[in-house]
């Protein structure tokens, strides 16, 4: 085993230990929480190394880079991996996005959802979709505002070739664990409101390297972890 593989496997083990400890603290089964390795800006070789550490779910933020990486990893490894798009969506990239990915976490406009539905190939399973919520009300961040979530969810749930699964958010950074938990709690309550209205939703994508414990305590089912697995990205 190379030193790079050894380092990555140790990091993955540590993240799994953090997830398990947080799940136990919340009285949850760790198996109900998926680890999404955020591989944006890292190479296909890095993804292949991560697969050797047991990871099977990867997140990308740039459509072209992600699609090329997906094709390269599939060509080399032939593994059944799950690819998630987690970045801002440009209207002129929706066709490639709809054809290449299994999940999209960052839908915040009906028109984007309509394009994804129209452009999802009929021979592929429905595209799993999450609504990105601007849970902290930050002007610099994408996401639908909390009061608008209900109407957008209803409209998207009616579209063909998509499966609305839940909500995603990237809250404003906070160091205090109680402050970290607050926006995650609000996102969980939004999901529960939608479930009470009849939406069959099962996914909360929230929590990253710095705050995954707080997110799990509030019900995260997917945590998106990049730095704690791959290290710092080159600038």
Cβ pair 2, 52 in contact under 8 A = no
Domain ranges of the chain: 3-230
Name the region of 224 (left: φ>0; alpha: ψ -120 to 50; beta: rest). beta
Residue 222 contacts residue 205 (beta carbons within 8 Å): yes
* 22 CB-contact burial (10 Å; exposed 0-12 / middle 13-18 / buried 19+): buried
Fold of the domain built from segment(s) 3-230: TIM Barrel (3.20.20)
pLDDT number for residue 235 = 46
Residues in the chain: 235
pLDDT tens over the chain, length 235 residues: 788 899 999 999 999 999 999 999 999 999 999 999 999 999 999 999 999 999 999 999 999 999 999 999 988 877 889 999 999 999 999 999 999 999 999 999 999 999 999 999 999 999 999 999 999 988 888 899 999 999 999 999 999 999 999 999 999 999 999 999 999 999 999 999 999 999 999 999 999 999 999 999 999 999 999 999 999 875 4
Positive or negative: CA dihedral 166, 145, 173, 181: negative
Contact 48, 73 (CB under 8 A): yes
């Amino acid at each position: 085993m190379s030193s790079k593989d050894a380092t990555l496997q140790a990091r993955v083990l540590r993240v799994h230990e953090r997830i398990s400890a947080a799940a136990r603290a919340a009285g949850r089964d760790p198996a109900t929480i998926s680890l999404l390795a955020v591989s944006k800006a890292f190479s296909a070789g890095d993804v292949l190394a991560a697969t050797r550490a047991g990871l099977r779910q990867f997140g990308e933020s740039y459509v072209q880079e992600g699609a090329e990486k997906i094709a390269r990893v599939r060509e080399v490894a032939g593994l059944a991996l799950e690819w998630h798009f987690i970045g801002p969506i440009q209207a002129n990239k929706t066709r490639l996005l709809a054809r290449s990915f299994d999940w999209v976490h960052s839908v915040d406009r009906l028109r984007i959802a309509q394009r994804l539905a129209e452009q999802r190939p009929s021979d592929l399973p429905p595209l799993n979709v999450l609504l990105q919520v601007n849970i902290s009300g930050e002007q610099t961040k994408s996401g639908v505002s909390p009061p608008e979530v209900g109407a957008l969810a209803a409209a998207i749930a009616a579209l063909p070739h998509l499966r609305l699964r839940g909500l995603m958010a990237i809250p404003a950074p906070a160091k205090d664990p109680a402050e970290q938990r607050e926006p995650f709690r609000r996102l969980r309550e939004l999901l529960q409101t939608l479930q009470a209205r009849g939406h069959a939703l099962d996914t909360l994508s929230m929590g990253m390297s710095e705050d995954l414990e707080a997110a799990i305590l509030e019900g995260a089912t997917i945590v998106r972890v990049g730095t704690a697995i791959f290290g710092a990205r080159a600038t």
